[in-house]
Amino acid sequence: MLEKILTELTNSDTTLVAVSKTKPVSQILEMYHKGQRIFGENRVQELAQKYEELPKDIEWHMIGHLQRNKVKYIAPFVGMIHSVESIQLLEEINKQARKHDRVIPCLLQFKIATEDSKHGLQRSEIIPYLSSSAFKDLEHVRIVGVMGMATFTDDILQVRNEFKQLKTIFNQLKTEVFAEAASFREISMGMSGDYAIAIEEGSTMVRIGSLLFGNRNYN
């Protein structure tokens, strides 16, 4: 499965984040030995523990809801945080990254789904902030793009429209705020069920779990 997905992604120049949440280190190592180096997790404790146990050239991405008081546990090593959904969280990431003299790449998460359970920033709140001096003072975070999750539905047209929305948000930020920043280039969208649509709509990073590792068992 990994090989098949990687071939599809190579053709479209999209990065694969292998979502390994709930999966044992043995399964991650198996994929590591096939060459995969970027893995995504959504819980701080699990992420920190897997970081300890696995090879240090793995790039760990935090993709799930992140509480401010837990940023400190991943700040020493995390490779990217996809789930920046508030200004306060961004400022906390900056504060913790400074302690380790690091610059942490971050994605701004926007709510594109209709489900209430999905988190995200509002453009009306974040765009003025990104133009402020408070934001320019954050030297230990780098905003490298946007992230979003589509509604969990069989309605392909709705999913496609939500991905289009995220691409529009990306384009707006690129022109209005990050025109000079070459590092602002990522659109993290697409999961096991909808990654093909996401790629058609301009995804640069897909987060795929169950398709690679099999279904998750939360018991």
Chain positions contacting ligand PLP, by CB under 6 A: 19, 21, 42, 63-64, 149, 191-193, 207-211
Output 138 or 159, the one with its CB closest to ligand PLP.
159
Output 58 or 63, the one with its CB closest to ligand PLP.
63
The 10 Å CB-count burial string (b at 16+, else e) for 80-100 is bbbbbbbbebbbbbbbbbbee
Output 22 or 49, the one with its CB closest to ligand PLP.
22
In angstroms, what is the minimal distance from the CB of 139 to ligand PLP?
Answer: 27
First to last CA, the chain: 25
Output 34 or 99, the one with its CB closest to ligand PLP.
34
Q: Cα angle at 186 between 148 and 60, to 5 degrees?
A: 80
The residue type found at 123 is: R
H or E element in which residue 18 lies:
strand 15-19
Output 108 or 138, the one with its CB closest to ligand PLP.
108
Cβ atoms within 10 A of the Cβ of 166, count? 27
In angstroms, what is the minimal distance from the CB of 199 to ligand PLP?
Answer: 14
In angstroms, what is the minimal distance from the CB of 22 to ligand PLP?
Answer: 9
Give the torsion sign (CA, 145, 150, 156, 162): negative
Residue least distant from ligand PLP (Cβ): 209
Output 138 or 205, the one with its CB closest to ligand PLP.
205
Helices (H), 25-176: 25-33, 44-53, 71-74, 87-99, 123-130, 133-136, 156-176
In angstroms, what is the minimal distance from the CB of 214 to ligand PLP?
Answer: 9
In angstroms, what is the minimal distance from the CB of 212 to ligand PLP?
Answer: 8
The answer to whether 19 and 208 have CB atoms below 8 angstroms apart is yes
Of the candidates 178, 167, 147, the one whose C-alpha atom is nearest the C-alpha of residue 84 is 147
In angstroms, what is the minimal distance from the CB of 58 to ligand PLP?
Answer: 17
Coarse DSSP helix, strand, coil percentages of the chain, rounded to the nearest 5 percent: 40, 20, 40
